[in-house]
């Protein structure tokens, strides 16, 4: 242990690394170090090193990101509650509640085991992201902890090494990228790759080193030319040559099916200048030096990436025809690119005291809480968030010129929800660059998008087929679930009223105590949930009615009809086998998970069920005030004449009906049968349509269809 103390003394007095801290913070750090060293006394890591070397290394990594004193203290203490007898209360009493909360948050993350079981992994992932949403410093400590563990992973067994490496590649590296920790992101990927595929890593690393030697002349010539060109233009700049990371080279080989010799752009140049105008001057100089490759210019200064990254990228044809990637940025942008949201972190509780990047990150973290609130299933939550963790962004503009970043493939609906949840819920149409487009239209870089809304509009379940962002998907699902719940509860209340009347009772005579008893005994969370279950067919209304009235011995059947309007939505389904419409005699059946399914009285599909299970069927009648349109199916046999379909369609339209779909049987010599689904208000309206069609000389046979 004694050997570690001098190391810590030299560390905290390193002005370059810890100079941003106040003397009192350094004193508190020394106190936290002594506390942690005493708690871990006698413990060693699997490598044989004293255990205190690990929290010390984690604190050093965080100090490199300029994290505040509380975070560094928590880093030194992050394993004491897990591996020693020290409690959270002791840490709180000694170092304050904020530090204790950070240590507790990291300790809970340490307990997470990412297994192959999908549900368990999703639940653990959810816990980690929600801990991050409450205080981003928790995940920053965890990321630094993971980085040091990855650097020392050689001491653990091969199986555990692969598991930790895969977990790092799939979970921790994407989070580092999303928080803008670029250097950490690449190092985690490199380390994970080296442990997951050690032979591939060694071969590629060796090939990269050999290529560096072969290209030494070209690299030197390029760097000299770049420095001379900048100097000739009076541009003060620092120029660095950099190689593509081994994992980046490997991923490009896999994605584009290339051999190593075919990957030319393994060399790049980074130019760091004083300010933004000089960035563009330097880029102009580069384009004057070497020819740019069309389509490879990217301006992340004007439009930063979602994680705050800023730089100008261009690919040039360098000496000997070898592509060279050039990045130009300011010193501040460079620090931000390396450390992201952790760069010069001064933690504040008030959002208005955060930098723009920290505000942006704060909004993203808060959106995690919103998605979590709406997604009860951890796997659904994971599905939503993974889209945001692996972004390939497109940048689009609002009508007022504000820039929004969305994942590639995002649609106008995603854009609407990115602006505001209410805009998404009420959108009915969209304009892209001034032209009306379908809501499923995918957006491209630079599109100017305007959303058209209507107060009566609501999300369409079909949107789920093409939206890309987690926010849009979770909001649509949440709205649909809420709508179905409310509609089902309303239907359940009417079914229960009918059952109570059949038992010579009424809802008025049921007291609160009876409701509480039935809700509790039935395992429901509330009266509304019980009513929704009745509406969805999960509970029989007659049974609930008897429980409420304590008449379990009653055998009376419900004779009162349930009135339906056809506007109940998902809680009432009109059977597609017979397509009932107002004016038809109807009967209903409760189907589990579907609610009330309504058929025509003489529907052939239900004859056997009505005979064998009469108790499952309810008398249903139409509300005379129904005003919506309903679907009806008709079969029309016509002569095979040119233009006959147009004449039939015109006659249907003139009778005030819309055509939903048309299907035709194979052409025969003289006659063809066409199957129409049309919209009518009621049985009388359908009769008018059919009378109108019979007047056509082409029509030989006409009937309403039932399957």
Same domain, 29 and 163: yes
Length of the chain: 707
Residue ranges in the chain modelled with pLDDT below 50: 1-4, 15, 116-117, 344-354, 552-559
Handedness of CA 60, 63, 67, 72 (dihedral sign): positive
Q: Residue 353: its pLDDT value, please?
A: 46
Same domain, 72 and 166: yes
Q: Residue 230: its pLDDT value, please?
A: 92
Query: Is 670 among the domain residues?
Result: yes
Domain boundary among 342, 370, 403: 342
**CB 265, CB 244: distance < 8 Å:** yes
Same domain, 454 and 482: no
Please tell me which residue in 14, 82, 93, 654 is annotated as part of the active site.
Answer: 82
**Closest alpha carbon to 72 in 108, 112, 106:** 106
Question: Which own/partner contact pairs does 23-26 have at CB distance under 8 Å and 24+ positions apart?
Answer: 25/68, 25/69, 25/72
C-alpha–C-alpha distance, residues 355 and 344, integer Å:
10
C-alpha–C-alpha distance, residues 93 and 91, integer Å:
5
Q: Residue 554: its pLDDT value, please?
A: 45
**DSSP category for residue 170:** I
Query: Is 107 among the domain residues?
Result: yes
Same domain, 597 and 459: no
Which range of residues forms the domain containing residue 125?
A: 4-201
Query: Is 39 among the domain residues?
Result: yes
Same domain, 228 and 193: no
Domain boundary among 422, 443, 468: 468
Residue 238: strand pairing partners: 272
- Global pTM reads 0.56
Block residue for tokens 């109108």: 692
* CATH number of the domain encompassing residue 161: 1.10.3210.10
What number of H helices and E strands is found in the chain? 29, 20
C-alpha–C-alpha distance, residues 80 and 99, integer Å:
13
C-alpha–C-alpha distance, residues 501 and 362, integer Å:
55
C-alpha–C-alpha distance, residues 4 and 71, integer Å:
20
Q: Residue 557: its pLDDT value, please?
A: 46
Average pLDDT over the chain, rounded to whole?
A: 81
**CB 151, CB 98: distance < 8 Å:** no
**CB 420, CB 444: distance < 8 Å:** no
C-alpha–C-alpha distance, residues 603 and 610, integer Å:
10
Distance of CA 681 to the CA centre of its chain: 41
Q: Residue 541: its pLDDT value, please?
A: 80
352 catalytically annotated: no
C-alpha–C-alpha distance, residues 205 and 193, integer Å:
11
Domain boundary among 166, 201, 236: 201
Largest interatomic CA distance in the chain? 106
Block residue for tokens 């560094």: 72
* CATH number of the domain encompassing residue 691: 3.30.70.260
Same domain, 639 and 617: no
How would you label 290-329 residue by residue, b for 16+ Cβ within 10 Å and e otherwise? beeeeeeeebbbebbbbbbbbbbbbbbebeeebbbbbbbb
Q: Residue 188: its pLDDT value, please?
A: 94
**CB 633, CB 616: distance < 8 Å:** no
C-alpha–C-alpha distance, residues 62 and 70, integer Å:
11
Same domain, 603 and 642: no
Q: Residue 351: its pLDDT value, please?
A: 43
Query: Is 671 among the domain residues?
Result: yes
Same domain, 565 and 659: no
Same domain, 581 and 649: no
Q: Residue 679: its pLDDT value, please?
A: 93
Query: Is 367 among the domain residues?
Result: no
Same domain, 613 and 499: yes
Could you give the count of Cα atoms lying within 13 Å of 203 in the half-sphere of its Cβ? 8
Query: Is 370 among the domain residues?
Result: no
Q: Where are the beta strands (DSSP E) in 623-670?
A: 630-639, 658-664
**DSSP string covering 678-706:** EEESSHHHHHHHHHHHHTSTTEEEEEE--
Please tell me which residue in 25, 30, 83, 528 is annotated as part of the active site.
Answer: 83
What the block records as the tokens of 290 is 């070497």
82 catalytically annotated: yes
Same domain, 249 and 277: yes
* CATH number of the domain encompassing residue 460: 3.10.20.30
Q: Residue 667: its pLDDT value, please?
A: 60
Same domain, 222 and 73: no
Q: Residue 701: its pLDDT value, please?
A: 92
Question: Which own/partner contact pairs does 394-402 have at CB distance under 8 Å and 24+ positions apart?
Answer: 394/443, 394/444, 394/445, 394/447, 395/303, 395/445, 395/446, 396/443, 396/444, 396/445, 396/446, 396/447, 396/448, 396/449, 397/446, 397/447, 397/448, 397/449, 398/448, 398/449, 398/450, 399/448, 399/449, 399/450
């Amino acid at each position: 242990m004694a050997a570690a103390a001098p190391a810590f003394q030299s560390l905290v007095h390193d002005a370059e690394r810890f100079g941003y801290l106040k003397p009192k913070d350094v004193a508190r750090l020394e106190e936290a170090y002594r506390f942690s060293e005493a708690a871990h006394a006698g413990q060693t890591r699997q490598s044989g090193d004293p255990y205190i070397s690990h929290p010390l290394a984690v604190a050093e990594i965080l100090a490199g990101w300029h994290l505040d004193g509380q975070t560094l203290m928590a880093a030194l203490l992050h394993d004491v509650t897990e591996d020693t007898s020290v409690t959270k209360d002791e840490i709180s009493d000694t170092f304050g509640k904020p530090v204790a909360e950070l240590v507790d948050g990291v300790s809970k993350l340490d307990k997470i085991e990412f297994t192959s079981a999908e549900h368990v992994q999703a639940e653990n992932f959810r816990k980690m992201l929600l801990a991050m949403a409450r205080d981003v410093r928790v995940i920053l400590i965890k990321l630094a902890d993971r980085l040091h563990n990855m650097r020392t992973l050689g001491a653990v067994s091969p199986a555990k090494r692969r598991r930790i490496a895969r977990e790092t590649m799939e979970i921790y590296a994407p989070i580092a990228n999303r928080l803008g920790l670029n250097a950490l992101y690449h190092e985690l990927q490199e380390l994970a790759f080296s442990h997951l595929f050690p032979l591939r890593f060694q071969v590629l690393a060796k090939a990269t080193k050999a290529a560096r030697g072969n290209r030494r002349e070209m690299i030197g010539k390029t760097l000299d030319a770049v420095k001379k060109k900048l100097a000739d233009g009076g541009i003060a700049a620092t120029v660095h040559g950099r190689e593509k990371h081994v994992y980046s080279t490997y991923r490009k080989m896999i994605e584009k099916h290339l051999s190593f010799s075919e990957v030319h752009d393994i060399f790049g140049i980074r130019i760091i200048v004083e300010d933004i105008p000089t960035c563009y001057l330097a880029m102009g100089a580069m384009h004057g030096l070497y020819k740019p490759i069309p389509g490879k210019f990217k301006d992340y200064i004007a439009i930063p990436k979602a994680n705050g990254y800023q730089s100008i990228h261009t690919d040039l044809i360098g000496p000997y025809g070898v592509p060279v990637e050039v990045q130009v940025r300011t010193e501040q942008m460079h620090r931000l690119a390396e450390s992201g949201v952790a760069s010069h972190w001064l933690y504040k509780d008030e959002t208005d005291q955060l930098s723009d990047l920290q505000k942006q990150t704060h909004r993203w973290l808060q959106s995690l809480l919103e998605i979590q609130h709406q997604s009860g299933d951890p796997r659904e939550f994971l599905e939503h968030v993974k889209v945001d963790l692996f972004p390939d962004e497109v940048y689009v503009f609002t009508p007022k010129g504000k820039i929004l970043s969305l994942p590639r493939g995002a649609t106008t609906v995603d854009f609407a929800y990115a602006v505001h949840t209410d805009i998404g819920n009420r959108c009915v149409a969209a304009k892209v660059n001034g032209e009306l487009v379908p809501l499923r239209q995918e957006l491209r870089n630079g599109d100017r998008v305007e959303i058209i809304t209507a107060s009566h509009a609501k999300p369409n379940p079909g949107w789920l087929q093409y939206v890309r962002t987690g926010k849009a998907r979770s909001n649509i699902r949440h709205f649909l679930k809420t709508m179905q719940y409310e509609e089902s509860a309303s239907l359940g209340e009417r079914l229960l009223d009918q059952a109570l009347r059949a038992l010579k009772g009424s809802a008025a005579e049921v007291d609160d105590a009876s409701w509480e008893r039935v809700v509790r005994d039935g395992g429901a969370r509330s009266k509304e949930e019980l009513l929704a279950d009745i509406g969805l067919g999960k509970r029989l209304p007659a049974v609930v009615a008897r429980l409420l009235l304590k008449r379990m011995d009653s055998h009376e059947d419900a004779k009162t009809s349930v009135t339906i309007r056809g506007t109940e939505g998902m809680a009432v389904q009109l059977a597609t086998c017979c397509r009932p419409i107002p004016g038809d005699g109807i009967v209903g059946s409760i189907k589990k998970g579907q609610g009330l399914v309504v058929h025509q009285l003489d529907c052939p599909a239900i004859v056997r069920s009505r005979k064998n299970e009469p108790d499952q069927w309810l008398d249903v009648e139409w509300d005379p005030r129904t005003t919506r349109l309903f679907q009806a199916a008709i079969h029309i046999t016509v002569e095979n004449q040119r233009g006959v379909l147009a004449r039939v369609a015109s006659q249907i339209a003139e009778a005030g009906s819309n055509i939903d779909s048309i299907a035709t049987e194979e052409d025969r010599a003289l006659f063809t049968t066409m199957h129409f689904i049309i919209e009518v208000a009621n049985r009388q309206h359908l009769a008018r349509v059919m009378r109108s069609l019979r007047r056509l000389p082409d029509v030989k046979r006409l009937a309403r269809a039932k399957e």
